[in-house]
Amino acid sequence: MKISAFVINYNGIDTIEACLTSLAFADELIVIDKGSSDGSELVCKEYATKYVEVPWSPTVEPTRNVALEYCQFDTIVFLDCDEVLSVGAIKFIQENVLLDSFDIIELPFKNFILGTFSETAYYWPTKHSRVFKKDKLIFGDKVHGGLEYHSKNILKAAFDSDVFVYHLSHADTKTWVEKTNRYTEQIERSHSYQTNMDLLKYASDRFMFWTSKLQDDSKKYDEAVVLLRYVYDIVDAVKLFETEELKNKPGKFRDISLELKAQLDEFFTNSNR
């Protein structure tokens, strides 16, 4: 059974070569590049069976449907440019493709935040679907919530194994803040804040929720990444309040500035009489 693989890339120079190498077992490798300018686009052209450039967009979810259109085969493996299959994951996929035992495969994700992975951090253990048969998994547009499942035949790799994905997602705090701002700008996104919630109570509840993920043996690193995750929720909530309740909108300062200028013009006109 032949395998299509696809990767969405945008300026992934630090991780893209390992990502693409981990998909070398696929019968075709499609790369959708979103306007990279850091040299990763050249690496992609070297590895890809099919290389396609599309206009930049702030999130990966809608671009996956573009990639899917180029896949020739029914079994599909997909990664983002900051994801790398472990050797164990490659073997696991190959074995189960031969057995034809699944519609969807979920793989454990080892998230590297601040350049580090910790088994005692809030994000472990977690799994994501990265292998599927055509039409069994549908990509939506919602940030961090864009998968629709059309089969219950889901094969889930065990957490206590060598089967996982290295997710090299956030090299540093700056990257986290940049992605937080980008993701929370999207209208279609998953969020826990609801309109007209008490903001301070929400903030307190989210702090308690995320700090409850800390374990007795948690390290200072685990505390740091919990705080980053908490910050994401707070930024998201304030942006929702701003747009849905405060009705703030782009260009508001321009409108205020024009109004102030009119007042100033009137003042100086009258004062010169």
Q: Tell me: do 133 and 219 sit in the same domain.
A: no
114, 134, 169: which is the final residue of a domain? Answer: 169
- The confidence score (pLDDT) of residue 140 equals 83
| Residue 126 and residue 36 share a domain | yes
Band the pLDDT of 235: cuts 50, 70, 90: very high
136 and 222 together in one domain: no
Is the model's pLDDT at 142 over the cut of 80? no
- Whether 37 and 139 share a structural domain: yes
Same domain, 164 and 221: no
Asked if residue 269 is part of any domain, the answer here is no
Same domain, 145 and 206: no
Q: Rounded distance, CA 225 to CA 47, Å? A: 34
Label the pairing between strands 28-33 and 3-9: parallel
Instruction: Tell me the β-bridge partners of 108.
Output: 127
Q: Is the pLDDT of residue 118 over 80?
A: yes
pLDDT at 144: 66
CATH code, domain carrying 12:
3.90.550.10
Q: Is 147 part of any domain?
A: yes
Please report which residue ranges of the chain form alpha helices under DSSP H.
16-21, 40-47, 61-69, 87-99, 173-183, 199-211, 220-240, 252-271
Would you place residue 60 in the very low, low, confident or very high pLDDT band (cuts 50, 70, 90)?
A: confident
Same domain assignment for residues 131 and 238: no
Tell me the residue range of the domain where 229 lies. Answer: 191-245
Answer yes or no: is 183 within a domain.
no
Residues 18 and 100 in one domain: yes
Same domain, 13 and 101: yes
- One domain, residues 207 and 141: no
Which of 75-84, 91-100, 101-110, 137-146 bottoms out in mean pLDDT, i.e. has the lowest? 137-146
pLDDT of residue 145: 64
271 occurs within a structural domain: no
Q: Can you give the pLDDT at residue 256?
A: 95
Q: What is the number of domains present in the chain?
A: 2
Query: How much of the chain exceeds pLDDT 70, in percent?
Result: 99
Do residues 160 and 195 both lie within one domain? no
**Predicted local confidence at residue 62, as pLDDT:** 84
Average pLDDT (23-49) is 98
Q: Let me know whether 139 and 22 are in one domain.
A: yes
Q: Comparing C-alpha atoms, which of 228, 143, 240 is closest to residue 199?
A: 240
Please, what is the angle between helix 173-183 and helix 220-240, to 10°?
A: 20
End-of-domain residue from the set 136, 169, 202? 169
User: Does any domain span residue 18?
Assistant: yes
Please report the sign of the dihedral spanned by the C-alpha atoms of residue 66, residue 68, residue 71, residue 76: positive
**Residue 206 falls within a domain, yes or no?**
yes
Residue 8 lies in a domain: yes
Mean pLDDT (whole number) for 173-185: 95
Residue 129 lies in a domain: yes
Q: Give the mean model confidence (pLDDT) for residues 130-155.
A: 90
Contact 228, 173 (CB under 8 A): yes
